[in-house]
Amino acid sequence: MTVFGLPFLGMGLFAAYTFLNAPNQPLSGRIGASVFASVFALIGGGLIFGSWYGYWLQKEKARRESANLESPWLWRQDWAASRVEGKNKSSVIGWWVAAVLANMFSLPVSLGSISKLLSTQDPKYIFPSAFGLLGLLVLFGAIRATIRLERFGKTYFEMASLPFSPGSRLAGAIHIHLDTDVRRGVDLKLWCARIVVTGSGKDRSTHKMPLWEESKNIPATSLVHGPLDTIIPVEFTIPSDALQTDDDNPNDKIQWSLQVKADVPGVNYSDEFELPVFRQAQSPEAPAPAPAWQTNSSFEISSGSQTATPPESSVETGAEVPEPELHRVAVTDSPQGLEFYFRAGRNRFRAVLFVVLAAGCGALLYALIHARQRPPIFAFFIVGLLTFAMTLASIRAALTSTRIVVGNGVISWRRAVLGIGRTRQMQIADVASILVVTSIQQASSSGSTLYSLRMQTNSGKNHTLVDDIQSRQEARWIVSEIEKRAGLRLNTQVRVSDAFYGSPPQPGAASPQGPAFSTKASVRIER
């Protein structure tokens, strides 16, 4: 890494010095060019510093691992002290690094284009002139993250036990500087996620998919206000069949996290704590492995196709899910039955994102068509294909609505675009189950996972009733209401189906045989 970073550092410094001392160039142009070249010098210096700092961290980690071979929860310094540091501080550092690099790259381009736009009045400089807005947005995010850190302090989660074990109680307290009342209380969410990294280089992408989660609200009256900080009590129960923390393979990990959010005046509080969950000798025994199609009490991980209907005795019933305080589906009781209406554009961020991308691709295609010099034909093909795909995605996200009706012995569903669509229906007697389904492809790096409702028939066929549901609790509640009205066996578990990635990694389990991963083998030498 040091050898790789040296050319960036040397050439960046040389270019910055050359541009700064360039003759017959205005001062503003020399400064802008040198700042632009300094970005590469910073990248090279960051690679060199990061390589040596990372090497030191790896040595410290190896020392702690060798001293605690049988206790992986002692490999992290904060875990060993029975406390977990929040991620806000590291988030602030990341925001500021991104803000500096983004503005050093975008502002010179933007300011130079604005100067040419004012002098020539040529509209082709409008787009590069607006390029500086990207850096300003990142700078706004860095300032907001800094305000959050300064206002709430360096929060931490104090663990009542170390480690937390499947089938036992997860308890502790969050220490935070909270100088205002929290009328709506504090929202806590404990979740287990599978983090999968695919690709390499510029094609590298990270998918964070929840496998299990539980949410609760801590009322303001339960908070303990002390002279130094405010204590937020935390208590959950981890299922006995829970997967344990595993980061042996950096491309396929199991991670437990506690997310905290509070709606307060000004900058809202939000933070995340990574928790150690490990199975010990005194932990409750995990249930025996089930077939690929069989459900279990908490974790639903399917690594094969769902073509066969499982025997009725193998399906365990799930718990009834309470109605979420906020949900995006309209539920009414009509003469036809219980109706669930999913309006168009209910996921506003996705809809706006796809519309903006479609508009950008369309503008680029228009510019290629009206260019003075005819671009290559493959450029038209690629941009045209992107425009078509983004347009379809925009229609799906912004204009598509879904209506599900359960009653009179029938389940019907209708997906429509601007009111135009086709109604399909199925006799309830022919329905085996309705499941909440998600997959790695429906997860993003931020953990914003989307869920679908899939109806399985007695003949083994699958029908997707609705997709793109953002809330796991909302999806499970909808399934609960549909199954109660239809008289089906209550099963509100979430099925994670993805044959390509196989089963999640677990210590002592068989290695997943997937084309995207190589399993790391560990050899222990004992004296």
Q: How far apart are CA 14 and CA 9, in angstroms?
A: 9
- The structure tokens 């991963």 sit at 517
181/323 same-domain check: no
Rounded to two decimals, the pTM is 0.61
Contact present, 165 and 215 (Cβ < 8 Å): no
Q: Which of 383, 335, 340, 334 is nearest to 363 (CA)?
A: 383
191/318 same-domain check: no
Rg over alpha carbons for the chain, rounded to the nearest Å, is 27
- Residue 178 has, within 13 A of its CA and on its CB side, a CA count of 26
pLDDT of 493? 65
Contact present, 494 and 438 (Cβ < 8 Å): yes
pLDDT of 293? 31
138/171 same-domain check: no
Last residue of a domain, one of 151, 174, 195: 151
318/340 same-domain check: yes
Q: Is residue 135 part of a domain?
A: yes
Q: How far apart are CA 112 and CA 123, in angstroms?
A: 14
Supply angle C-alpha 60, 65, 67, rounded to 5.
Answer: 100
DSSP assignment of 420-476, as one string? Answer: EEEEEEEEGGGEEEEEEEE-GGG-BTT----EEEEEEETTS-EEEEEEEE--HHHHH
Q: How far apart are CA 20 and CA 28, in angstroms?
A: 10
- The structure tokens 């036990």 sit at 161
Q: Is residue 400 within a helix (H) or strand (E), and if so which, with residue range?
A: strand 400-407
- The CA-to-CA distance between both ends of the chain, in Å, stands at 35
44/67 same-domain check: yes
Q: Which of 72, 214, 238 is nearest to 164 (CA)?
A: 238
Secondary structure percentages of the chain, helix, strand, coil, to 5: 40, 25, 35
Three-class DSSP labels, 183-232 = CCCEEEEEEEEEEEEECCHHHCEEEEEEEEEEEEEECHHHCEECCCCEEE
In the structure encoding, which two tokens stand for residue 80, read together? 């060993």
337/465 same-domain check: yes
CB under 8 Å to 6, separation ≥6 — which residues?
Answer: 44, 48
Inter-CA distances, 440 with 303, 349, 392, Å: 12, 20, 22
330/478 same-domain check: yes
CB under 8 Å to 355, separation ≥6 — which residues?
Answer: 394, 397, 398
192/271 same-domain check: yes
CB under 8 Å to 333, separation ≥6 — which residues?
Answer: 339
In the structure encoding, which two tokens stand for residue 74, read together? 């002692």
CB under 8 Å to 214, separation ≥6 — which residues?
Answer: 189, 190, 191, 236
Last residue of a domain, one of 151, 175, 194: 151
Number of domains in the chain: 3
Contact present, 287 and 279 (Cβ < 8 Å): no
Q: How far apart are CA 59 and CA 75, in angstroms?
A: 12
Q: Is residue 233 part of a domain?
A: yes
Last residue of a domain, one of 263, 282, 301: 282
Q: Is residue 512 part of a domain?
A: no
pLDDT of 284? 58
In the structure encoding, which two tokens stand for residue 395, read together? 């229609």
Q: How far apart are CA 397 and CA 401, in angstroms?
A: 9
Q: Is residue 518 part of a domain?
A: no
Q: How far apart are CA 207 and CA 220, in angstroms?
A: 34
- Residue 467 has, within 13 A of its CA and on its CB side, a CA count of 12
164/147 same-domain check: no
- The structure tokens 């499982």 sit at 310
Q: Is residue 301 part of a domain?
A: no
- The alpha carbon dihedral of 64, 69, 70, 72 has a sign of positive
346/234 same-domain check: no
Query: Other CB atoms closer than 10 Å to residue 37's CB: what's the count?
Result: 21
Q: How far apart are CA 35 and CA 100, in angstroms?
A: 11
Q: Residue 59 belongs to what domain range?
A: 2-78+89-151
In the structure encoding, which two tokens stand for residue 459, read together? 């003949």
pLDDT of 322? 73
Q: Is residue 437 part of a domain?
A: yes
Look at the chain and count its residues. Answer: 527
Collapsing DSSP to helix, strand or coil, 254 comes out as strand
Q: Is residue 335 part of a domain?
A: yes
Q: What CATH code is carried by the domain that includes residue 260?
A: 2.60.40.640
pLDDT of 525? 37
Q: Is residue 341 part of a domain?
A: yes
- The structure tokens 């007697």 sit at 429
In the structure encoding, which two tokens stand for residue 366, read together? 């228009």
pLDDT of 356? 84
243/143 same-domain check: no
Q: pLDDT tens digits, the chain, 527 residues: what are they? A: 888 888 888 888 888 778 777 777 776 667 777 777 777 788 888 888 888 888 888 887 788 777 777 788 888 888 888 888 888 777 788 888 888 777 777 777 777 777 777 777 666 666 667 767 777 888 888 888 888 777 777 788 888 888 888 888 888 888 888 777 777 888 888 888 888 887 766 667 777 777 788 888 888 888 888 777 888 898 888 888 888 888 878 788 888 989 888 887 777 788 888 889 888 766 555 554 443 333 334 454 443 333 333 333 223 345 567 777 777 888 888 888 888 898 888 888 888 888 888 888 888 787 777 766 676 777 778 888 888 888 888 888 888 889 989 888 888 888 888 888 888 888 888 888 888 887 655 555 445 677 888 888 888 888 888 888 877 888 888 888 888 887 877 666 676 655 455 566 665 444 444 433 333 333 333 43
Q: Which of 94, 91, 277, 273 is nearest to 175 (CA)?
A: 273
195/213 same-domain check: yes
